[in-house]
Every structure is written in structure tokens, then in C-alpha cells.
Amino acid sequence: MDNTIGDVPLEWYREEEHVGYDADGRKIFKPGKGDSIEHLLQLVDDPSYWRTVFDEKGGNEPKLSKAQVRRLNRRL
């Protein structure tokens, strides 16, 4: 699901239960973060989980490729 908030600052939605609106004007709710046990199980089950990032504007969790991780490490 694409977030259609456009160029609105995300700070405006920090205290809200949603992160924007879809094309029909319905609220796009923030995804659930899960609990600590869920997070631990993901770490154990998926060896590449450490490459997962949270895209705050898009509301999804893409995995970084090995090339992207190398590029980030070069910048640090």
C-alpha cells in the first residue's frame, strides 16, 4: 500500500494513529510493531534480518542488498 501523504512532514503524524490518507480519503493506519518476543523470533529465524529497515514514509520494511550495505559502510 502506497502512502499518499506527499510532501507533508511526517512529524505532523507522530501523535496520530495513522500516517496519511489513501486516494479515497481513508486513513492509512500505522503498521503494528509487534512485541519483543516476535522481534527475537525474527532475529533467530532469519539470518539476514539485520538488513531489514523500516521505511517510515512508505510504511514497509525492505531489506537492504549486500551492495547497499557496503555503500552505507563506506560512508561511515
Q: What is the pLDDT of residues 28-41, one digit of tens each?
A: 777 666 678 887 88
Domain total in the chain: 1
Q: Which amino acid is at 34?
A: G
Distance of alpha carbon 59 from alpha carbon 54, whole angstroms? 7
62 falls in which pLDDT band (50, 70, 90)? confident
Domain assignment present for residue 4? The answer is no
Domain assignment present for residue 44? The answer is yes
Expressed as residue numbers, the domain containing 21 is 10-75
How many residues appear in the chain?
A: 76
Domain assignment present for residue 5? The answer is no
